[in-house]
Amino acid sequence: MASTASAPAPPRNALRVLVVEDNAGDVELTRDYLSDVPGCSFSLTHAPTLHAAGEHLRRQAFDAVLLDLNLPDSSGMETLRSVHGLAPDVPVVVLSGEDRPQLQVDVVREGAQDFIGKGESSAALLARSIRYALERQASIRSLTARTQLAERVRHSQKLEAVGTLAGGVAHDFNNLLTVIITCADMALESIPAEAPAHDHLREIHDAALRAASLTQQLLTFARRGPSAPTAVDLNEVVLRMQRMLARLIGEHITFVVTPADDLAPVLADPDRVSQVIANLVVNARDAMPDGGRLEIETANVVLDDADATRYLVSPGPWVRLQVRDSGQGMSPELQARIFEPFFTTKHEKGTGLGLAMVHGIVTQAGGEIVVESAPGAGTTFTMHWPVATSGRDQAPAPAVGIPTRPAGHPRILVVEDEDAVRHVVVQLLEAEGYTIVEAADGAEALRLWREDGDGFALVLTDLTMPGMSGWALGQALQQAGAEVPVLYMSGYPDDTPAAHEGGPDGARALVRKPFARAELLASIRRALDPLRS
């Protein structure tokens, strides 16, 4: 029966060394050598077989391994490969009775940090070799960390470049979609539901909304879309989606959800978290056409320096969300490109935006996502989300309904450089009972206000226009003593009044394109009568 007495505690700051050696005499000689090293202490653990070495490496951490290649249950280079597989980050020094120059070359090629012949062992040589192995391994880790950091910077720069392009494209798209959606809204209001054209208009309207969603995906992976973070319980999100996800993947896949107890809330946009989970589940399903196992697991974790480096985040508390499948897996080449925008392996149906969008959502929330996979061995996506802190929660925005028509006929100055957008906004507001004066740019709007400023109840202006911008117009009106409220519109994802120097917070002062009819009317009513709204 094994003794239950605890082993003596190792000396403080002692280097923990696993000696894998079947010859007890050699182990004691090594222990004697290392006990005589001045200024350095070692804590040795003995493993007489490869199996015993594996048990020790799985149970505790070591600073170095002294390894004899020929053991009762393993021999030669296979022993070194096995130890490397069990503990790839632990430096290995090979101790061997064979004095062959080629063997020394071979073990170093296989990843050993040093080679010592047993006949030449001495206290100084062993200590120097272990220290050298530790220093070399530390250099390798440092180089790996710098390489990972450089890769993250390159990826960030790539996303920034694509994001700049996406922002410009989104502006133009959002202007076009504003016209389409608003016209379709007004036409649907005026045409009876039984009319043949009604169904066609509904298709146009819904297609425009899908186009707006696609534009939002472009902005999300580029980290340029607006977000509404709040305290989110990932368990609630996953469990709420569980039934829908089970139907999505089909009965041929075993679906298991393992929620952690007392999971800390994370600071994220709940709708975007749902997008992340749905995207990863669909990818997992597609990787298991013949069936398999899909697991979603949550956990509270505290990452040390090593794990933080592995997962590309800072040490400390995080909430972990893992999506793991038993599917086809991916090669290292695919893993290196998996989060690139427009890269896809689903050539017949993929857009290449799904995982890029997932990456954008997680990183925009302050977290990180990594993928671990191998061909035939399945894939695991591991996300770490920042823990929400009190005081940062935001209440969900209320649903937008169509407000009642205004009393009288308030005059609104509509300022928009895009003719089509201006015309459709004017038509919409006139149909709702407003009196509209329109201007194609800021300078014309300022002239109209100077002619009859007291007659305007509201200025509705695009933010980004050539010449005088909407913000500059608002500043000019303020400097001229105007008390008229200003409501801004923008199709640029990053553009808000607060983004301009000295601007207001803009929480109620901005309506984003493309907007629905109800959203624009509600924003105008709030600007005109904030107390009643």
Q: How many CB atoms lie within 10 A of CB 215?
A: 22
Helix, strand, or coil (residue 408): coil
More confident residue, 208 or 399: 208
Give the DSSP letter string of 106-130. HHHHTT-SEEEEGGG--HHHHHHHH
37-51, 153-167, 404-418, 505-519: least confidently modelled range: 153-167
pLDDT tens for residues 158-184?
656 666 666 667 777 788 888 898 888
DSSP 8-class letter at 420: H
pLDDT band at 210 (very low <50, low <70, confident <90, very high): confident
Which residues fall within 8 angstroms of residue 397, CB to CB, at 6 or more apart?
228
Alpha-carbon distance 458 to 435, whole Å? 11
Q: In the predicted model, is pLDDT for residue 145 greater than 60? A: no
- What pLDDT is stored for residue 319 in this prediction? 95
Q: Which of 105, 49, 53, 48 is nearest to 84 (CA)?
A: 53
More confident residue, 196 or 319: 319
44-48, 315-319, 478-482: least confidently modelled range: 478-482
- What pLDDT is stored for residue 398 in this prediction? 43
CATH architecture of 230-385: 2-Layer Sandwich (3.30)
What is the average per-residue pLDDT within 130-157? Answer: 62
- What pLDDT is stored for residue 293 in this prediction? 93
Which residue type sits at 310?
R
CA angle 395, 399, 404 (to 5 degrees): 130
Instruction: Locate the domains of the chain by residue range.
Output: 15-121, 154-221, 230-385, 411-528
What's 154-221's CATH class?
mainly alpha
pLDDT tens for residues 445-492?
999 988 887 788 999 999 888 888 888 898 888 888 888 899 998 876
Alpha-carbon distance 481 to 497, whole Å? 19
Pairing of strands 368-373, 379-385: antiparallel
Q: In the predicted model, is pLDDT for residue 6 greater than 50? A: no
Instruction: Look at the alpha carbons of 143, 145, 146, 150 in this order and tell me if their dihedral is positive or negative.
Output: positive
Residue percentage of the chain with pLDDT more than 90 = 20
Alpha-carbon distance 392 to 59, whole Å? 40
pLDDT tens for residues 254-275?
999 999 999 999 988 887 888 8
Q: In the predicted model, is pLDDT for residue 1 greater than 50? A: no
- What pLDDT is stored for residue 414 in this prediction? 95
18's enclosing H/E stretch is strand 15-20
Alpha-carbon distance 244 to 396, whole Å? 23
Give the CA distances from residue 155 to residues 60, 158, 215, 403, 408, in Å, rounded to whole numbers and listed in that order: 36, 5, 21, 45, 55
Alpha-carbon distance 318 to 302, whole Å? 6
CATH architecture of 411-528: 3-Layer(aba) Sandwich (3.40)
Q: Give φ, ψ of 441 to 5 degrees.
A: -160, 175
Whole-number CA gyration radius for the chain: 32
pLDDT tens for residues 12-31?
567 788 999 998 888 888 78
Most confident range, picked from 108-117, 361-370, 501-510: 361-370
Alpha-carbon distance 210 to 372, whole Å? 32
Q: In the predicted model, is pLDDT for residue 217 greater than 70? A: no
Give the CA distances from residue 44 to residues 18, 83, 137, 496, in Å, rounded to whole numbers and listed in that order: 6, 17, 19, 63
Alpha-carbon distance 16 to 41, whole Å? 9
What is the average per-residue pLDDT within 320-329? Answer: 92
Which residues fall within 8 angstroms of residue 157, CB to CB, at 6 or more apart?
none
Most confident range, picked from 70-84, 151-165, 222-236, 488-502: 70-84
SS (H, E, C) 126-163: HHHHHHHHHHHHHHHHHHHHHHHHHHHHHHHHHHHHHH
Give the CA distances from residue 183 to residues 177, 178, 188, 206, 346, in Å, rounded to whole numbers and listed in that order: 10, 8, 9, 12, 36
What is the average per-residue pLDDT within 380-390? Answer: 87
pLDDT tens for residues 341-373?
666 665 444 444 578 778 878 888 888 999 998
What is the average per-residue pLDDT within 229-257? Answer: 88
What is the average per-residue pLDDT within 184-211? Answer: 84
Q: In the predicted model, is pLDDT for residue 392 greater than 50? A: no
Residue percentage of the chain with pLDDT more than 70 = 74
Question: Do 360 and 367 touch, CB atoms closer than 8 A?
Answer: no
What is the average per-residue pLDDT within 229-242? Answer: 88
- What pLDDT is stored for residue 502 in this prediction? 42
Q: In the predicted model, is pLDDT for residue 152 greater than 80? A: no
pLDDT tens for residues 409-452?
889 999 999 999 999 999 999 988 899 999 999 999 999 988 88
CATH architecture of 15-121: 3-Layer(aba) Sandwich (3.40)
Q: In the predicted model, is pLDDT for residue 401 greater than 70? A: no
- What pLDDT is stored for residue 36 in this prediction? 64
Question: Do 15-121 and 411-528 fold alike per CATH?
Answer: yes
Alpha-carbon distance 331 to 92, whole Å? 27
Question: Do 138 and 131 touch, CB atoms closer than 8 A?
Answer: no
* Strand ranges in 278-367 using DSSP code E only, listed in sequence order: 292-303, 316-325
| Helices 123-190/196-221 angle, 10° precision | 160
Alpha-carbon distance 358 to 363, whole Å? 9
What is the average per-residue pLDDT within 114-139? Answer: 65
* Strand ranges in 251-397 using DSSP code E only, listed in sequence order: 253-258, 266-268, 292-303, 316-325, 368-373, 379-385
Q: How confident is the prediction for the chain on average, in pLDDT? A: 78
SS3 content of the chain, % helix, strand, coil (to 5): 45, 20, 35
